[in-house]
Structures are given as structure tokens and as C-alpha cells.
Structure 1
């Protein structure tokens, strides 16, 4: 362009990123600045600034969603890992981080080849509040601690450069790619009975906000050091999240010390004006409110089109634009957009769809499979145990349906049919006309196949036509005639039947579990049930490996599976997590729901049997001495006998140096090697009104060889692991007898917290 870049201070690598970013922004006119504030930034040719498309996605592999990434003959595909809900079921933190590393390697390689950007608006970290939510496949489940732990590990995998993971100044730390935690906050309804995410006002208590909706984002910022956060479409207590200065400036930037940029969900400002009609704002009002609240980048056109006029009308200062642009350009500088990062320059085509990444996708698919039922230890099957097998179901030959949404073009597909065909002679029948299964006309040929086969595998479930972004479910049953297909095939089958459920959210399959004289014969024929989520491009391999014993399943359900009548007990747009007794609404998630269910959170079987043995003290006293500036806080109790002289103290007022050491010996009592997920829960003292039943405070997946044992150790921070949030939004450490519980075992540690003057 005839420019000498040495004339521009923003290109001087001896200067700090902040100084360079200021120099770049100061060179622009107001109009030029406004045109860099949308996701399709135009660049400024006269000062050598290239255009940049901010929007790319990498939720479970590099995606073609967005403007920044595309596939072509040079890069025909990228590794498609299982969707997030499936990967979360592995409860394997190192796996989550390793997948992030693989995805960022492919993303950076595609960038080097000219096929991708550097900023990826992933992951989704909204806790699943309601089982009907259409976006469950994108999320890490219902527990906020698990969601936050997934977020921080996956983000670290995406962003961290080896050897530079931690620096004194995190704002200058180089990034492999930029991740984005979304959708902030209290976003978990899309389109349910006319209630739309674009207009929904989430009425949320401060208690639920602090305890559930904000916690994963706090962990993503503080532990994951994420470089971007996306605000959501909805309002929270009347205010659109993308125009809320408390949520954006006060909490993210000031309280959590966030280093990065805040972006809107796409067209959120437009929705604020056209559908929310918030404050009856004009477009110029809306961009001013959003910018002043702390929104740095508009995924959309409102900032580029209306910001200049808004400044000239005096609704917002140009300096506010300068501040946001500096946040944006510091992130691009950390990514090497201007200078390059030498250690990443060698990445290229060889690093995309590599054999290593394909095998990682297969391993992730295996680790996330959850064994739900195994009568008489029918599974695993031995190779050649059954000479011919019927493979039946609308998802038996699934390809695209295995990879969920926000997907890219995968390297390849291994369908269940293809995976199972490697182990046996198979006969395939669809059984349904698609996943919605609108008629029963394909059931008869399916029953005939089952009648002739030595064993039958049914692959049923949902896909994006049932649960998806913009599409919440209204019931929790398998779609259409799927239940009828299962029943008739089970009745007709000559041999054992294995039911494979491919879904994101839970489904009510209780009729194939309970002891009902009318159904007993059918339920006995269905020897095993597997949940396989949406298992990614290698899903068929994982399903076959589990059924035929090449892999011992160890996954656990990351959310509660409810009975279908749950949807009749409360509307989806009721936000409280605790029961609403006046309306007879049950609680939400395992922390507050005490009704009947199909399967609980954390459920999962194995082909072997594990036993836990605590090797640390079962009684831990914690006495905290208070000074005159530390004050006791009152709690409400169900009975006077539960009351304490000093019920609780504000966590922020305590020096939290009390630790609880939990070491457990995990014994594999069986004849098969296997992996066990050790889940650690805390239970608060009895009698406190409105607190959770229990909460996850730690987990670890451990491999234990047959007849061997392994020790797993957890060091729990008492303030973090035993804390509660009261109905005023305070985070407290209650006095009294807390319990640390290991999964569903009887092993318990009693932690007695007391305060003294």
C-alpha cells in the first residue's frame, strides 16, 4: 500500500500492548473507529490496519458457523469432537483441556492457511436449569461448579501457549487463540410455547444469580483467564444484559479483574430496540447505553451504523469508543495478529484431522458413554457371541446427527452401523421415517429383523429437529412412535436387546425400567441401556467398543433425567431453582429437586465393581477465631433446636486458610480394568432454610486395573466447599456439622465448623 510501517508506533514491538493499542486508536477518525466496532471490522487502509472478521466458533471442533472460518479444497474438514454435554459426562478435566488444545491447534493451522480467524466465541457455559432447554447439547450440564470447571479447562486448552500459561501481567500473556465464555447471564430459554429468548425477562433472585448463574462465568474469568465474554439476548430483572453496567463493568471488569473484550450475542442491540423495546430507545440511544455499560463489540451492524451519530448527538463520548477499541486491539496483539507468534507458524494442513486428533475424538466419545442398565451383566458382548445382529432405529446409521450444532465439516463419519459392522454380521432396519418417527409403518420390518437375529441393538433418541438453539422441548419423551418401536422390537426379538439413546437432554424411558407385570417381559428383554449423547464423528466406534467390551464405560450423567410429568409441574419460564411452595413448583437440578426421576445427576454403571475406602480422618474440626471486626450473620432455621449462637460469617471477612484433606482408596473388585469417577459432595448443616441438599465440590476420573486399587486425593478449601448463599445474596460459611460425601458410597467426613471470640 506504499506505507512504511516503521512510521507507526502501534507496530513497534518494544512498546507495551496498551501503548501500541492507544497509538492505533488515536490515528483513527470517529467514523473509522465506529466501523471497527462490529464483528465485520472494515480496517483502515490509510494506516495499514487490515479488516478482521471476529466471529468464529469452536465449541467442539473448528466450525463453519460465523464469518471468520470456512472450509474448501485446501481445508475440507476439521476434527469434530463429541458435543459438550457428551464430553462433560467423562468428568475428566485433563481430557477437556486436551480437546481444547487439539481444537486450537487446528484453528491456528487454519489461520496460517488463510481459512480461519483467531477469535472463537466458545464455549457455552450456561448451567442447565430446565430439562426442556434446546441448547443442552452445547452445555456442560446442570451443576455450576462442574460447568465452571469445564469452562476453565477448555478455555485453558484453547488459549494457553506452552510455557506461558501464567504471567504476572495476565493482560499481556500471548494467546494461541482467543476463547469466549457465553451467554452472560441467566440465559437458558430459547423458544418455549411462545416465550422467546429475544424478549424474555429473566426474573432472578440475587441468591440464584450469585450461586448458580454467575459462578461458571466467574470461574471462567478467574481460573480460565478467558479473553472474551458474550452477553446474552435476554433481560435480567428488566435490563438487557448487553446494556447492564452492573453485570458488565462492575462485576466482570471491576470485581473479577477481567482482561479482554465483551461482545454481544449477534444482533442483541437490534433486539433491544425492536423486540424488547427497552426504554423505547432509538438506535442511537441503544448503542450509547450498551457502550457505556461496557459492551465493546457488536456482533451486528448497530455499532458501525449508529455510533458515530450517537456521539455527534451527545449521547455518548468518543472516549468510550476509544476504551473499547483498546480492549479489542490488545487481544489481537496478544494473538499475534500484527506480529505473528513464531512457535505457531509451522502449524498447517498436517495438523488438521491428524490421526492423533481423530483418536482423541474416539477416546472422548468412549469416555462420555454412560451405562444406565445392565441386567444380568449381559454387556459386554463377546465377539462372535452372536452370529448375526439386527441394528434398528432412526439413528442407527446416524452421521450428521452425531455431531450436534455449531459443527464444522468433520474429517469423516463412523456411524453406529459402520462401527458395529466391524464386530459382527449386521442387518439394518430404520424402523422410523426419521427421528420424529411420525408413523408406525416401518415398525413391522424392524420386528422381522429382530425376530431373525441372534441379538438386537436399537439406536433411538433426538436430533437438532427435536432439541436445538431456538427450539426448546415441550415434553421429555422419545419422539413420535419411538417407544412403540422399542416395545414391538423387544417383544419380537429372539435374543437380548440393547437400547442406545443418542440425545442431549434426558428422556423419560422409565417404562423400560420399572417392574410392571404388563411390561416385565419387555423390560427383561432389554438387557442394557446406554446413553451416548451426541458423540461426534467417531461416535459409532465408541458405541461398538463399549458394547463389545473393548472399552469399559465410566461416564456419568451431567444432569438429572426427569420423568415426563415434570413438564406439567412448572412452566419453563419460572426462574427460581428452589421450590416455589405457594405454586407447588418443585425445585430444579439435583441441588434442590426432591421428586421422582428416571436417573439422578452423576448416575452411571460400569462392567466392574468399585469400592471406596477413606484413608484420611473422618472427623475434621474447624474453629475460626473472630476479632471485633468480624460479625456473625443470622440464618433462618426450620427448628429452634438447630439454631447456633454464631450461625455464619461472611466468607469475605474470613482468612480462608482452613483445608479439608480427602484421600480415598478406589478399589476395583472386578475382573475388568475400568475408570471410576470419584464425585465429592458437601452437605450443609441440618435445618438451614432454603439451602441445597448437596453440591459438587470436587471430582476426579481415575483408571483402576482389575483387582487393584488407586488413591485419589482432594484438598478442599473450606470456604469454597462449605459455603452457602443466603436469600440476600451473601456468601456465608455456616457453623455446625457439614458432611463431605463420596458419590453414593457410605463413606462420609464430618466437618464441624465453629466460631470463637
Structure 2
């Protein structure tokens, strides 16, 4: 009897879990997997009535295809119609789809860091779509300090991405941009990062995300959960992530020990801006632990911070195989895979880039470690984003995009302009640059990057082992060939430059040239994902090549450095034979044209360094694995970034020269900022140096203020030189003197403007007092200090006091 009862219960469970009506079962049996998968232009969108008719399914049975319903209701209906095994099959980046619901497979993983790339499984390059525009890497694009350019690039990239989706060659979810702080020049992924300043990084994130996501006319939706998306962006890697593999310490085992002060002040603000101001629809959590807890398993970071405090409208995805890394690398709490899945799902991670969720979540449910309701919520977050992209309903405005919208002349020219705007002039002795086309016709173009092509793309562009490439390349040799006769000599066999046998040929070329351009630097064999640097020097014999060629050259010598993280080129900076130095990052597919146009004056460079270039001995003073920013005299740490570093530099953050000269005049500036306090607002103490008099009310918590006070700054910029040019106006705030442990200064605003020779432009800034003058104390409180702040323009070209008073 007991056996019969057990048999009947098993039969009942099977029927309850998996039965489908006879009519639907007959319909489903006719559906092939290929019918469900978007493979070309015939696939319009999931809930296309003609598609359901073709599949012999009645679309009216599926409420998730009712466009009159809110996305949240539709997503819930879709998830509720799935069986548990079907739900689990959708939790990895390669979602399996549900044939009986006519839900196709979907690949979440596509990349668009600086152009649609063939990284990730969701993007396909083939004979139909062999190319996409490759813009400069992010570090160089950021050096333009041009917000509108960043957004315009995002718009161009998303147009190509949407066109590729229409052709069945890409998804609608792109895991870009990278917005981690470039904390240390040794970090291998600095090419991907927008710089070392959290405000700058955040502003870049907002503009690029808006460029990728915004559908014109829908930017200010009241209900952000229903706001349409051109494509979905994803800001990564959250958080305190910037160690790849340094002296045996890798990202799969690294525990970032971070103070709450540094988290609040530096690591998290770019992500907060990305969520709040950029309305990003995806966040990727990082491999590393943060203070002992894997970031993908930390509910404080994911649920409390991202969702509750910042109000993320989107999904959270792991960096690829992060769940597996928790088990095999971090050995977090000696978790099994089922434990790790329970940890991450409860913490708020919706999607696993990897196979751990699809493979082990069923076991986790059976072991009562995971609730089905947690799975449902994760899937709802995912599908709401896909609804917003038009995956289910389409977005008519983008229906016509196709092959002719990829690699357009407009996009190629934008990539060229981006490279030009980012290129930074670091030295120009005696006004050597620009070169005159009439005087310099015989050019020696030498060095390991003289004939660069793939190296100009940096990372997250195109892997050589897969199909796909930029629209075309313009190498430095090609670029300079339009200005004169080029005599090319590599000087080094490769970037490692381990041999000196090729140097003599480069020397001979320089002896007879009217001008010599030496192109050196780094590439992905030196700085890249999974590989950090151990020094700040040019590799191998590159310095020897530079010195020998410079000493032998007949004409002026111009040094061009291609890299992401800074290198110590003090020897070249101090060498009188080297007349000019340009930093060109990794300038993208049109890098050669951009470099040549700058050298010969077709474009006047206006880029500024988004990172500090330290001297070589910096690496001996502080390990890469130390996460702190403030200097520590007891350990000999000099601090990090321009905000805290107390040593000498090769070139400082924000440095950049021009072929012309600009003068600044302050037209209007407020010198007093009265801040009104509420009846129950209390003063907050600050630590001051012993020789400083502490104010009666040192500071107020920002959370206790209305923060409605603003101050204006109007600056007149006059071009007093003979060439048109662009100037980047940088504005910093400096806290009152004597406060212990705060930053030296912080960037609060910037604008790039074009000023014709002899002309003038007025730049207007409006600053919020709380945002622009606040500090973070040792207890991670964000405060507004009273007293004499200083507003500085550029490197002290103009400054004025600003007295904050409480009343």
C-alpha cells in the first residue's frame, strides 16, 4: 500500500510540474529550435503576431505579449508560466529559451567598450558583417575632457549595435563601460578606464551610457522601469576592482581591503553616478572580495547599495565565472556550488555569466538553499530590461538600421576626431610642433609602433583568433605618408625590444631625415586583462633606441608614446635633442591619421592627462595590492592620484600643452556661500592640525542639509596665440586649510571649448555647494566644512576664496 501511494504521489507531482494542455503540446511539437532563435532580419521581435502564427501558436494565450500591460506585469506572467527547470535554464548568459512559450534563446554577453567587439558570445562577425568601427580606447577618449564627444561615441556605437542586432549578429545587452578607478598605473586594464578621478570617471560613465541607451524623446521618463532602451549598457566592475595578476596575486583570489572612507569617496561614486544620473540598466559585480566578502555575494553592495540606496532599474550580472571563482578561488566559507548560488541570489545577483547557475541551481532548490521566489525575482529583473530594449515588441525607430549603418564615413570620422581630441602634447620645446609641410618632406618614422595596426585598438576590440576587424586601419606610416616621403625602420623586433640589432637601421634613417618621429610604448603583451605591470619603464631596449636615434638625428625629434598607464620617460623629457613628446594612448583604427595630423598642425592638440604619470621609483614605495589612497608616512607610502599623492611626478593629472596660448580672466565669482541650517541641525567635529584654530561649527553632515545652495563661476578664455585651438578648462575645489586627512584638491567641473586665434569665449559654471565642497572623514561621513575654501582654475592660473558660513 505504501509503495502504491508513493507511486501515485510521484505521478501527481510529475503531472503538476510538467503537464501542458494537449492542444499546446501538439503545437509545440512542431516548433524547431531554429524557429525560435533570432538568426537574421526575419526575426523582428518575440511578440510579433506573424511569428506566432508561423509557429502555429495562439499569441492571445500569453499575457506577456500584451503590450497594453506594464513591463513588470508582463515579465511576471512570463516567469510564472515557466516550470522550475525552464526558469533555471535562463539564468546563465546563454539563456536557453522556452519553446512551448515561443521564447527564443538569448545570449546576454556582448561587448561595446569602444565599439562593437567580437568579445562575448552574443556578437558575430562574418561575411555579412565583417567590420565595426573601433574608436580609441577609453583612457584616450577621456583625455579629451569632452562630454558631448563621449555621448556621441556612445550613440554611434549603439547604432552599429542595433544594426547588427537587426541582422542577427548581436544581442541588445552590452557589458560596457568599464568605470573602475585607475588607482595605480600598473593595473593591466587602464586602457579601459576613464581615469583616476571619481568625478571624471562618473561623468564619462553617464555620457557614454546615455549615448548607448537613450531613445530620443524618452530620456526623462517618469517610470524608469519602462523607459525604452536603444541598447542596454552595463557599468562594471562593482567594486574596488583593479588587480589582475601582480606578483602571484590574481583577481580570482584577491581580497581588496578597503576603508569605508575610500569606498565612499573614490571607489563607489562613479557607479552611483552611473545608476542615478546615467540610469544604467545593468551592473556587473567583480571577481574580487571586498573586505572578505566576494562582491557578487555581498547583499550590502548589491541589494542595499545598488537597489535600495541608488534605485537601480536593471539587472546585476556576475563577471564571467565569478560564482565558480567563489568556490575554487576564494573558497568563501568553504561553500559548495549550491551554497555559492544561494549566497549570490540572496545578495541580489540576477544573472551568471557562466554555467554555475544553470548547472547547480536545481540542486540548491532541492537542498532548500534557494527559494524559487528568488529565482523569479532575478528573471523578472532580466526580462524587464529585455522588454525595454524592444526584444519583445520592437522599437520602430530602429527597424530600418542595417549593414549600411555600420562603418559609415561619419563613424570613421568620429573615431578620427576622438583620437585627435584625446592626443596630449607633453613637451614642445621652442615651438617645434607643428611641423611645416614645406620644410619637412623627408621623414624617418621609426620604432616598434611605427607600423602599428592591431596595437592601436587596445583591448576589447577584436580578438585575432575570431573573425571581425575594424572598418580599416590607418597606421602611423600611412598617416605620415600623406605629408612626406617616409623611411621606416622598426628599431625593435617587437614591443619587448629584447635585441638591439635593429637599432642601427633606425639610427641611419634619422641621420638623413628632415624630421624623425619615434613611436614607442606598450601593448597588450605588457598591460592587459589578467596581466599587471611590475614597473613603469619602457620595455627592453626602447629607451636605448630613443637615445641613439635622438643623438644621431639631423632634424628635430618627436617622441610619440602609445600606452595606457603612464611610463617614466623623464630621460626623454630632459633630453634637449627630443624636441616634442606626444601621448596617444591606443588611438583606434584611425590612429595613424590622427597622429600625423597633429604633428603637422592640421589639428591643434588639446588633450589632458586623465591619470598621473609617476616616476619609476613609485613602484618601490607602495604595492599594487594596497588599496589606500592617503599617504602613510609610517609605511613610506606616498599616496595615490593627484588628490593625495605627495611626491614628484613625470607629468601631473590634467597636464597638456597646446600650439597656442590661452589667458584666463575671472568675470564673475561668488566669494561667500551662506548655508541655511535647520532648527535641529547639529555641528559635526573635524580633526584639525594643532596650529590651526578650529571653527565654532566645523562641519555639517550632508544628510542634514537641504543642499540647495549654488555658486557660479564665469571665466573668460582668450586665445592670445596665432593658431585656433581647443582648451580644457578644469575647475578644482580645495578644502579649508588645516583639516587632517582630506584631499589636496578635487575636480568639480570641466569644459572643453574651441577658441579661434585672437578670439575669446566665456565659460559658465554652476556648482552645487554640497557636491563641490564636501569632504569624507575617516568615519566615511560626507560633510560640508565651514570656513575658507578655495576654487582653483587649472593649475592655479586663476583662483579665488569661497567662505562657507552656517546660519
Q: TM-score, normalised by structure 2?
A: 0.92
1:604 equivalent in alignment to 2:656: yes
- Cα separation, 1, equivalents of 2:703 and 2:80: 41
- Cα separation, 2, equivalents of 1:238 and 1:486: 46
SS of the counterpart of 2:339?
Answer: helix
Shift of 1:171: 1.0
Deviations 1:35-56 (A, max 9, x none): 1000000001011111100000
Deviations 1:553-586 (A, max 9, x none): 0000000000110000111101110012221111
Give the match for residue 389 of structure 2: 335
SS of the counterpart of 2:568?
Answer: coil
* Contact 1:397-1:415 within 8 A present in 2 as well: yes
Give the match for residue 674 of structure 1: 725
Shift of 1:475: 0.5
Deviations 1:287-309 (A, max 9, x none): 00100000000000111011111
Give the match for residue 592 of structure 1: 644
Matches within 5 A, 1:274-289: 274-289=328-343
Matches within 5 A, 1:206-225: 206-225=260-279
1:636 equivalent in alignment to 2:687: yes
Give the match for residue 552 of structure 2: 492
- Cα separation, 2, equivalents of 1:657 and 1:460: 50
- Cα separation, 2, equivalents of 1:199 and 1:385: 57
**Consecutive aligned runs of 4 or more in structure 1 exceeding 2 Å deviation:** 623-628, 639-642
Shift of 1:118: 0.3
Matches within 5 A, 1:359-374: 359-374=413-428
Give the match for residue 27 of structure 2: none
Give the match for residue 123 of structure 1: 177
Deviations 1:675-728 (A, max 9, x none): 000000000000101000000000000000000000010100000000001110
Give the match for residue 197 of structure 2: 143
Give the match for residue 375 of structure 2: 321
* Contact 2:678-2:705 within 8 A present in 1 as well: no
- Cα separation, 2, equivalents of 1:713 and 1:177: 33
One of 686, 691, 699 as aligned partner of 2:742: 691
1:451 equivalent in alignment to 2:511: yes
- Cα separation, 1, equivalents of 2:245 and 2:626: 14
Give the match for residue 696 of structure 2: 645
* Contact 1:416-1:540 within 8 A present in 2 as well: yes
* Contact 1:144-1:213 within 8 A present in 2 as well: yes
1:555 equivalent in alignment to 2:612: no
Matches within 5 A, 1:33-72: 33-72=87-126
Larger radius of gyration: 2
- Cα separation, 1, equivalents of 2:220 and 2:521: 43
- Cα separation, 1, equivalents of 2:674 and 2:389: 47
One of 788, 794, 797 as aligned partner of 1:737: 788
Shift of 1:386: 1.6
1:534 equivalent in alignment to 2:586: yes
One of 283, 296, 300 as aligned partner of 1:229: 283
- Cα separation, 2, equivalents of 1:581 and 1:306: 49
* Contact 1:478-1:508 within 8 A present in 2 as well: yes
1:747 equivalent in alignment to 2:798: yes
Shift of 1:525: 1.6
1:418 equivalent in alignment to 2:469: no
- Cα separation, 2, equivalents of 1:641 and 1:280: 52
* Contact 1:612-1:745 within 8 A present in 2 as well: no
Shift of 1:213: 0.3
SS of the counterpart of 1:751?
Answer: strand
- Cα separation, 2, equivalents of 1:251 and 1:483: 47
- Cα separation, 1, equivalents of 2:137 and 2:166: 26
* Contact 2:441-2:483 within 8 A present in 1 as well: no
1:660 equivalent in alignment to 2:711: yes
- Cα separation, 2, equivalents of 1:642 and 1:302: 59
Shift of 1:248: 0.1
SS of the counterpart of 2:549?
Answer: helix
- Cα separation, 2, equivalents of 1:613 and 1:644: 32
Deviations 1:411-470 (A, max 9, x none): 000000000000000100000010110111100111011112121100000000010001
- Cα separation, 2, equivalents of 1:351 and 1:739: 49
Give the match for residue 433 of structure 1: 493
- Cα separation, 2, equivalents of 1:497 and 1:582: 44
- Cα separation, 2, equivalents of 1:323 and 1:625: 43
Give the match for residue 39 of structure 2: none
SS of the counterpart of 1:615?
Answer: strand
1:166 equivalent in alignment to 2:220: yes
Matches within 5 A, 1:336-355: 336-355=390-409
SS of the counterpart of 1:323?
Answer: helix
* Contact 1:148-1:219 within 8 A present in 2 as well: yes
Give the match for residue 582 of structure 1: 634
Matches within 5 A, 1:165-204: 165-204=219-258
1:157 equivalent in alignment to 2:211: yes
- Cα separation, 2, equivalents of 1:415 and 1:641: 57
Matches within 5 A, 1:13-28: 13-28=67-82
Shift of 1:203: 0.4
Shift of 1:645: 0.9
- Cα separation, 2, equivalents of 1:37 and 1:100: 28
Shift of 1:642: 3.1
Deviations 1:252-273 (A, max 9, x none): 0000011000000000000000
- Cα separation, 1, equivalents of 2:532 and 2:516: 32
Give the match for residue 778 of structure 2: 727
RMSD of equivalent CA atoms: 0.8
Shift of 1:639: 2.3
Give the match for residue 520 of structure 1: none
- Cα separation, 1, equivalents of 2:692 and 2:238: 41
- Cα separation, 2, equivalents of 1:178 and 1:325: 16
- Cα separation, 2, equivalents of 1:706 and 1:280: 67
SS of the counterpart of 2:183?
Answer: coil
Deviations 1:353-377 (A, max 9, x none): 0000000000001000000000100
Q: Name which of structure 1's ranges 598-607 and 650-659 shifts more when overlaid on structure 2.
A: 650-659
Give the match for residue 519 of structure 1: none
SS of the counterpart of 2:616?
Answer: coil
SS of the counterpart of 2:459?
Answer: coil
Shift of 1:640: 4.8
- Cα separation, 2, equivalents of 1:364 and 1:747: 29
- Cα separation, 2, equivalents of 1:130 and 1:482: 23
- Cα separation, 1, equivalents of 2:311 and 2:677: 29
Give the match for residue 539 of structure 2: 479
- Cα separation, 1, equivalents of 2:169 and 2:522: 32
Deviations 1:39-83 (A, max 9, x none): 000001011111100000000000000010011111110000000
Give the match for residue 517 of structure 1: none
Shift of 1:32: 0.7
One of 145, 167, 173 as aligned partner of 1:113: 167
Q: Name which of structure 1's ranges 620-629 and 27-36 shifts more when overlaid on structure 2.
A: 620-629
Deviations 1:307-328 (A, max 9, x none): 1111121112100000010000
- Cα separation, 1, equivalents of 2:448 and 2:148: 34
1:502 equivalent in alignment to 2:562: yes
Give the match for residue 623 of structure 2: 571
Matches within 5 A, 1:395-410: 395-408=449-462, 409-410=469-470
- Cα separation, 2, equivalents of 1:642 and 1:139: 41
- Cα separation, 1, equivalents of 2:321 and 2:91: 13
Give the match for residue 10 of structure 2: none
Shift of 1:744: 1.4
* Contact 1:642-1:686 within 8 A present in 2 as well: no
